[in-house]
Amino acid sequence: MAKIHELAEAKPRLASGHKLCPGCGASVAVNLALNSIAEPVVVSAATGCLEVSTTAFPSTSWETPFIHSAFENSAATISGIETAYRALKKQGKIKKEIKFVAFGGDGGTYDIGFQALSGAAERGHDFLYICYDNGAYMNTGIQRSSATPMGATTTTAPAGSQSIGKGEWRKDMVAIMAAHNIPYAAQASIGYWKDYVNKVEKAIAAKGPAFITVLSPCPRGWRSVEDNSIALAKEAVTCNFWPLYEVVEGNNWKINIKPSKPTSVEDWLKQQGRFKHLFTSENKETLDRIVARVDEEWQKLLKREECS
């Protein structure tokens, strides 16, 4: 596994000077991933915060070959590039080993880009897809996505006298991708860089499609303190809201970190203004349901690991 000094000393493949917001986890997710890959890398990114903030014409922050895809087809784009590479390599026109990575936010992954991602996974293209999951369509105004946690307030599911915010549970994207029987799928957090880097290395070494969703706090959408993003990304893990685990070949489940004394889900939620309305007497039932659901999902994950 890459060591911290190696990552720190490596030239960033996403250069500084971009326009991502202070405290945004996306650039951390990108540089940790790309700097842990030894081979040359070709990158595709869907329309979203990451793309908009790093490729404003006529400049770019990318130190790799990069192609901007539409909102819905980053996975289709990278699968086409990977297919062309295999064809050229077969013809002897390319000798070097090249890796292919696609990035997308949760809106462009869980929702509008899911068809392309599912198709690319089913076809078996050799690429890594990384979703920087911030829990909403942040780039276009903090609209709810299927990755938005239940109870969070967004501009399209606002909390108020008639609403608790988003009323549905978030989609289990890792389980969905694992159900494609791909070589590797995992859930990670920028708060645990060693675990994340280790998963990227496993994913990029896998022969075939691999998927990682990495928790990437958004101070703007989460209504959180800008310099608290890494701490929030860590606490999401220690309170079991965002477990760290991996799935190999669709059926071998492994939990990477098991908190001996889980921290409080309520304390984690309190640090985010998007959940502020839950801490009222009117919404106590919803808050209790969320806390109970976190434990239910954790117990389900433990059983999946036990049965693997």
Tens-digit pLDDT profile for residues 162-211:
999 999 999 999 999 999 999 999 999 999 999 999 999 999 999 999 99
Tell me the whole-structure pTM to 2 decimals: 0.96
Instruction: Please enumerate in sequence order all residues whose Cβ is within 8 A of that of 228, keeping only pairs 6 or more positions apart, or say none.
Output: 23, 217, 219, 271
The string over 231-262, giving b where at least 16 C-beta atoms fall within 10 Å of a residue's C-beta and e elsewhere, is ebbbbbbbbbbbbbbbbbebeebebbeeeeee
Q: Whole domain around residue 209: which residue ranges?
A: 4-307
Q: How confident is the model at residue 69 (pLDDT cuts 50, 70, 90)?
A: very high
Say what the pLDDT of residue 8 is. 75
The confidence score (pLDDT) of residue 1 equals 64
Q: What percent of the chain has pLDDT over 70?
A: 99
pLDDT exceeds cutoff 80 at 301 = yes
Sign of torsion over alpha carbons 6, 9, 14, 16: positive
pLDDT band at 5 (very low <50, low <70, confident <90, very high): confident
Question: Tens digits of per-residue pLDDT, 115-170?
Answer: 999 999 999 999 999 999 999 999 999 999 999 999 999 999 999 999 999 999 99
Residue 10 binned pLDDT confidence (cut-offs 50, 70, 90): confident
User: 3 falls in which pLDDT band (50, 70, 90)?
Assistant: low
Asked if residue 247 lies in contact with residue 184, where contact means CB atoms within 8 angstroms, the answer is yes
Pairing of strands 252-255, 245-248: antiparallel
Residue with tokens 């945004």, as numbered in its chain: 24
Q: Which CATH number covers residue 286? A: 3.40.50.970
Residues 191-221: b if buried by 16+ CB within 10 A, e if exposed: bbbebbbbbbbbbbebeebbbbbbbbbbbbb
Number of domains in the chain: 1
Per-residue pLDDT for 2 more than 70?
A: no
Spatial separation of the C-alpha atoms in residues 244 and 255, rounded to whole Å:
6
Asked whether residue 254 carries a pLDDT value surpassing 70, the answer given is yes
